[in-house]
Amino acid sequence: MTLLKVDRIKICCIMSQQDADIAIECGATCLGLVAQMPSGPGIIDNTTISNLVRYIDNRARAIVLTSEKGANEILRHVDAVGVETVQVVSPVDPSVIKEIKRLAPALEVIPVVHVIDKSSIDYALRLGEYADAILLDTGNFNVEPIELGGTGRTHDWEVSAHIVSRSEKPIYLAGGLDPENVIAAINQVKPHHIDVCSRLRRDGALDRNLCREFIARIRSHSWN
Ligand SMILES: O=C(O)c1ccccc1N[C@@H]1O[C@H](COP(=O)(O)O)[C@@H](O)[C@H]1O
């Protein structure tokens, strides 16, 4: 019997060299750098992102979160900050992801699906035709400013589990995860990768103890 484990662990909202060092020391494989957003924690400017990408170097995969919506705008943003992986947080038509991959096949593109109801399943599967992976997160389009992620809230994991069971592409699970709930989330959803921001932070900075506990619990967990 093959036991499965979470592959990548992405610690998002990295704002400083200290955040990056803590996440890497705790075992993170991916670091999320949040560019200009309508809302959410951890937003930093493009110069800070570029500097952090160079600082992180090859110790982890640096991922920029962009709220740009067009293929050319997203690619310009990627070029400006110098990353090889982009998380597209605005809801976009799958044709945008297709166009990015046509123009930049080597770029790893991870569009976000805000899990709202069963319609999210069809959207995720359509994005998965072109994307390298899909990120399932919590969002709210009915508030001002709009929430595209970083909410600290969970969503309907039953819908997420359904997406994982049907997706041909790897799935990141995000949204309100913390050391207390992450194993229950993994057991229900069975994602390939895990992503987290708000609930590992204290006073705006990444908390070393929470981060260590979060990653240790994930790494010691397996399922079949
Ligand atoms: O973190 C943000 O500020 C953010 C803003 C807009 C879109 C996405 C954002 N972050 C992503 O949301 C997930 C989940 O965050 P949380 O753990 O629920 O706070 C985070 O890891 C980022 O991928």
Q: From the CA of 1, how far away is ligand 1's center (Å)?
A: 35
In a domain, 206, yes or no: yes
Indicate the pTM of the whole model: 0.97
Inform me whether the pLDDT recorded for 54 exceeds 90: yes
Residue 27's pLDDT band (cuts 50, 70, 90): very high
Q: Tell whether ligand 1 has an atom less than 6 A from the beta carbon of residue 174.
A: yes
Q: Considering the chain, what percentage of its residues have pLDDT values greater than 90?
A: 97
pLDDT score of 142: 86
Residue 215's pLDDT band (cuts 50, 70, 90): very high
In a domain, 3, yes or no: no
Residue 61 tokens, joined: 């995969």
- Residue 27, sorted as left (phi over 0), alpha (psi -120 to 50) or beta, turns out to be left
Q: Tell whether ligand 1 has an atom less than 6 A from the beta carbon of residue 197.
A: yes
In a domain, 86, yes or no: yes
Query: Ligand 1 atom closest to Cα of 200?
Result: 17
Over residues 144-162, mean pLDDT: 96
> Please, what is the average pLDDT of the chain?
97
Residue 158 tokens, joined: 């039953």
pLDDT score of 1: 79
In a domain, 50, yes or no: yes
Q: Tell whether ligand 1 has an atom less than 6 A from the beta carbon of residue 40.
A: yes
Q: Half-sphere exposure of 157 toward its Cβ, with a 13 Å CA cutoff? A: 18
Residue 38's pLDDT band (cuts 50, 70, 90): very high
pLDDT score of 224: 84
Domain region containing 207 = 9-219
Q: What is the pLDDT of residues 67-85, one digit of tens each?
A: 999 999 999 999 999 999 9
pLDDT score of 17: 98
pLDDT score of 52: 98
Alpha-carbon distance of 22 to 210, in angstroms, equals 11
Over residues 181-188, mean pLDDT: 98
Residue 191's pLDDT band (cuts 50, 70, 90): very high
Q: Tell whether ligand 1 has an atom less than 6 A from the beta carbon of residue 149.
A: yes
Among 177, 185, 181, 175, CA closest to 147: 175
Q: Tell whether ligand 1 has an atom less than 6 A from the beta carbon of residue 42.
A: yes
CATH number at residue 116: 3.20.20.70
Q: Tell whether ligand 1 has an atom less than 6 A from the beta carbon of residue 30.
A: no
Q: Tell whether ligand 1 has an atom less than 6 A from the beta carbon of residue 63.
A: no
Q: From the CA of 37, how far away is ligand 1's center (Å)?
A: 10
Over residues 117-125, mean pLDDT: 96
Alpha-carbon distance of 135 to 113, in angstroms, equals 6
Over residues 172-182, mean pLDDT: 98
Sign, Cα dihedral of 168, 172, 174, 178 = positive
In a domain, 63, yes or no: yes
Over residues 212-216, mean pLDDT: 98
In a domain, 4, yes or no: no
Domain count, the chain: 1
Q: From the CA of 105, how far away is ligand 1's center (Å)?
A: 25
Among 136, 151, 139, 153, CA closest to 192: 136
Over residues 169-197, mean pLDDT: 98
In a domain, 27, yes or no: yes
In a domain, 89, yes or no: yes
